[in-house]
């Protein structure tokens, strides 16, 4: 194992004939520090595994992966990433996305270790995207906005992978309220919370129900008025 200087990460596997430890060290220290800065805490036990083929990714995740899948988190603490040297060759991602995706996956481990964040999936993904700075230029078509009840668990999330909505609404919560409220929300969630339980906790933290807050967010983006019931039908 190779401990990353300036962080609590460890590289547990990589090919030194392809990737230099020095170059990996630099990007991994950056990704770790992005998370540490957001959460204002260190976490230990995060491991990084660098792989080199699509077949390896499929084997690590025990499923056939889409070409856009270039990284993932396994058992909440092992980050599996395609090597930056083949990152752009076997995926639609540019090579410049490597540190962003790495930061995103490390964020999942931070959020689990600190808060056991699993559901809602949209919040887990939105938070990771926010910390990574991945989706700053993303937009959301009005017709693509979904009620958050449909993005809460893995089954619903996997139907659309609505990263844009997840990121934009998470950013809205921090901009309208503050990061402290969001962290307070995370601290009160059980890993297996359902949509109704989450909605109740959300209202307790923000003094506004989730659906009304989503409607306010949609209206602020499009300068139009949407009834909450219209979003629920999507």
Q: Are 57 and 87 in contact (CB under 8 A)?
A: no
Q: Tell me, what's the pLDDT at 136?
A: 84
Q: Which residue has the higher pLDDT, 227 or 93?
A: 93
Whether residue 120 has a cis bond before it, omega within 30° of 0? yes
* Same domain membership, residue 108 and residue 206: no
Q: What percent of the chain has pLDDT over 90?
A: 85
How many domains, in total, are found in the chain? 2
Q: What is the mean pLDDT of the chain?
A: 92
* Same domain membership, residue 191 and residue 91: no
Q: Rounded mean pLDDT of 22-30?
A: 93
* Same domain membership, residue 232 and residue 221: yes
**Token digits for 76?**
């909440």
pLDDT, tens digit (0-9, with 9 covering 90-100), for 74-89:
999 999 999 999 999 9
Domain finish residue from 81, 99, 115: 115
* Same domain membership, residue 190 and residue 81: no
User: Where do runs of H (alpha helix) occur along 12-97?
Assistant: 21-39, 54-61
* Same domain membership, residue 173 and residue 85: no
* Same domain membership, residue 137 and residue 105: no
The whole-angstrom separation of Cα 149 and Cα 71 is: 26
pLDDT, tens digit (0-9, with 9 covering 90-100), for 181-211:
999 999 999 999 999 999 999 999 999 999 9
Q: Rounded mean pLDDT of 120-128?
A: 98
* Same domain membership, residue 95 and residue 173: no
* Same domain membership, residue 25 and residue 88: yes
Sequence-distant (≥ 6) Cβ neighbours of residue 203 within 8 angstroms: 209, 210
* Same domain membership, residue 122 and residue 106: no
* Same domain membership, residue 141 and residue 109: no
Domain finish residue from 115, 138, 161: 115
* Same domain membership, residue 128 and residue 111: no
Q: What are phi and psi of 11, to 5 degrees?
A: -85, 120
* Same domain membership, residue 108 and residue 123: no
Q: Kindly indicate the confidence band of residue 151, based on its pLDDT and cuts at 50, 70 and 90.
A: very high
Domain finish residue from 88, 115, 142: 115
Q: Kindly indicate the confidence band of residue 221, based on its pLDDT and cuts at 50, 70 and 90.
A: confident
The whole-angstrom separation of Cα 48 and Cα 63 is: 20
Q: Kindly indicate the confidence band of residue 225, based on its pLDDT and cuts at 50, 70 and 90.
A: very low
Torsion angle of the four alpha carbons 22, 26, 32, 34, in this order, in degrees rounded to the nearest 10: 180
For residue 50, the SS3 value is strand
In this structure, what DSSP letter does residue 83 have? -
Q: Which structural domain range is residue 159 located in?
A: 116-234
Nearest CA to 81 out of 117, 100, 57, 104 is that of 57
The whole-angstrom separation of Cα 101 and Cα 108 is: 11
Nearest CA to 154 out of 186, 196, 201, 122 is that of 122
């Amino acid at each position: 194992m190779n401990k990353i200087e300036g962080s609590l990460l460890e590289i547990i596997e990589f090919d030194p004939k392809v990737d230099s430890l020095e170059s990996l060290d630099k990007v991994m220290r950056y990704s770790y520090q992005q998370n540490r800065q957001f959460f204002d805490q260190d976490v230990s036990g995060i491991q990084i595994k660098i792989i080199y083929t699509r077949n390896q990714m499929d084997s690590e995740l025990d499923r056939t992966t889409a070409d856009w899948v270039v990284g993932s988190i396994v058992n909440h603490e092992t980050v599996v990433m395609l090597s930056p040297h083949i990152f752009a060759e076997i995926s639609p991602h540019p090579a410049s996305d490597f540190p962003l995706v790495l930061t995103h996956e490390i964020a999942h481990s931070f959020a689990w270790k600190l808060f056991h964040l699993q559901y809602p999936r949209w919040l887990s993904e939105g938070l990771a995207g926010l910390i990574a700075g991945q989706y700053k230029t993303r937009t959301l078509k009005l017709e693509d906005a979904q009620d958050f009840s449909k993005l809460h668990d893995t089954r619903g999330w996997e139907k659309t992978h609505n990263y844009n909505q997840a990121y934009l609404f998470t950013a809205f919560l921090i901009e309208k309220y503050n990061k402290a409220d969001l962290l307070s929300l995370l601290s009160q969630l059980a890993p297996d919370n359902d949509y109704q339980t989450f909605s109740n906790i959300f209202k307790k933290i923000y003094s506004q129900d989730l659906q009304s807050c989503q409607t306010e967010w949609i209206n602020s983006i499009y300068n139009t008025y949407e009834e909450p019931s219209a979003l629920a039908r999507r």
